[in-house]
Structure 1
């Protein structure tokens, strides 16, 4: 094994990216948008998914400026993309070039695919176009028998050339069965060979309304027709596959009627007819050149320095997102640490300690006051009990029961009457008051 057979991760991812971009080319994809992100760089990043799988996508601002709606999660879209690889992470991804809502996008994709297919087969070539007869003998009209287009055509023909016979081949011009009926009407007109020019068309409408004129069966039937066909579908701005393959394109049904009718302005009619031929040739030429330009642009795109710039732009967005997340994480951690230090500092601050000691002092004061009140109540109760006991043995209590105390003038208590002599002064104390007397 040589060193050339040993890949680095960077070399492997670069080789895989080139392989994907060169081999797969452009792909069309339908899916549901999720995880949509639009950084300040202007690029879009999102995921396309279905019920069983998903793929990462990037749409750079040079392309997303052409998107006519604001993508949101849940949108069903049709995208045109190139397969690639985001080398720094090794992620397989799609580089989106265009995006449309799924319904309109599918129809436009089918239109472009059929247009390129028929152009490649040469069905739009000017050499296959059959010139319109200078003086038509009978005109066939293939359209709805109740549509405004038929009345417009008949009105113009009546005004310009009332003698020109008209054969109407009624058919549906909208819906699923319309394409088959239009093809059958063209075939029926060719089989009858009763007209020398056919007008095929209808009034204006949406892309979906006009879709039967973008049908491959209708296109091939028009190309195979032996009778020259004028395509007159919609308004002047409406373009269908039938316009490309028909011998002449008229901007409106009324204009088609003017092309096949004769009046005093016959030279103008010839001029318009040639102008239509020129427009058809230019349309075919531009279509062919556009196809070649698309192929050359795709080849240039694969080798353009923009690919590396897109990779680096995506990598820059990825790094910015990671940096923002890292900074946010660091700020969150620092904020939490600062909050913890603030809490610890608050616990150690003199103000907190003073407040804590004041609370402790207040609690101790309350406990001391409660203890003093309790002691006071106990002492009062004990005093009350002692007073009651003292009152039971107090001389005053004895006096209250009707007894008295007799004292001599000197204050001695007289307990024996023999100690007294006639004429002695004595004092008698009662429960309430006292009186003096003389011994007789």
Structure 2
């Protein structure tokens, strides 16, 4: 609360008013008609917003007004989002406008800002991900409408400054509800066309006219291009999100063509410079080679003198070589004799050791074999006696016999297996008896009568 005892200077009070206005009216939506409009050299817009009964002065600074997508005209019905402030130097109340759009356009600009903030947060507009154009471009893909004036501008620019550049046009509508999807398809086709660079362009228009270039699908398609891409849409004041996603933003379609193409005359000048450099380098190489030949000629001798010199050197070498060969052969022969004597001694010593080992092993093997055979014979005799004692033949010789059926050769081991009148065979040690069963007696002597 301000009391009437406080004394303010004018600047103090205007600053207090300004702070109060900004605090109380930091985001105000207004609608009105433009009654004056001025674009300063700094790029800022100054205008008056009025209705039937009142008016307010307004300013929209360049960083904000370049995003509007159109240039206001006197009499335009507009909507603004602004904050109220006091221009202290003049003591005038004014609106500082953040957003300006034509009345009735709905929330297109708000959508623009929201999508821009979203894609910027994803890094889609980051400088680090942008690709540089090749130093020399000879093949360009142009994505636009065949009926667009922008295509004529690009063709004229290429024909005027770079007739050596080839180009392919990928037709797509650039305005309308279905344009965005077709622009995406054309971009993908152009990106697969193995061009050195791409241009996406169209002429100027309102925010609605350019809206296809602000759709998320088109912006992402521009960012996804593997080929360096330049986007030039409308006039210098027309701004679209596709331009933010491009590797390079051109102010106009003509500027886009100029950015991707280097003038033919510059290339020819470069070729001339390269030819002059190459010609000078070849000339220097020839001069140096000629000098080397001249120096080499000074050191040459006649063929006969050269042959005599070689013959003299050959004779000297032969004279030195013979003693060296004789000495080398004698040394090698002595070494071979020493190695032969040593080998014979080692061989004789080895043979004696092997012979001694064989003799020792032979004696041990004979002794072990004799002991093994003796043991086996003893065990064989023991087992033979035991087997002989329990053999069926010895049992029969002691008076025993066994019974079997004559037709089955089956031993009868129990009285329960025979009946009176059965024919049996009794086997003895020296023959057989044919028997007939008269009576069957068990161990308790009670006759069993079948």
TM class, shorter-chain normalised?
0.3 to 0.5
TM-score (norm 1): 0.40
TM-score (norm 2): 0.39
Structure with more helix by fraction: 1
Larger Rg: 2
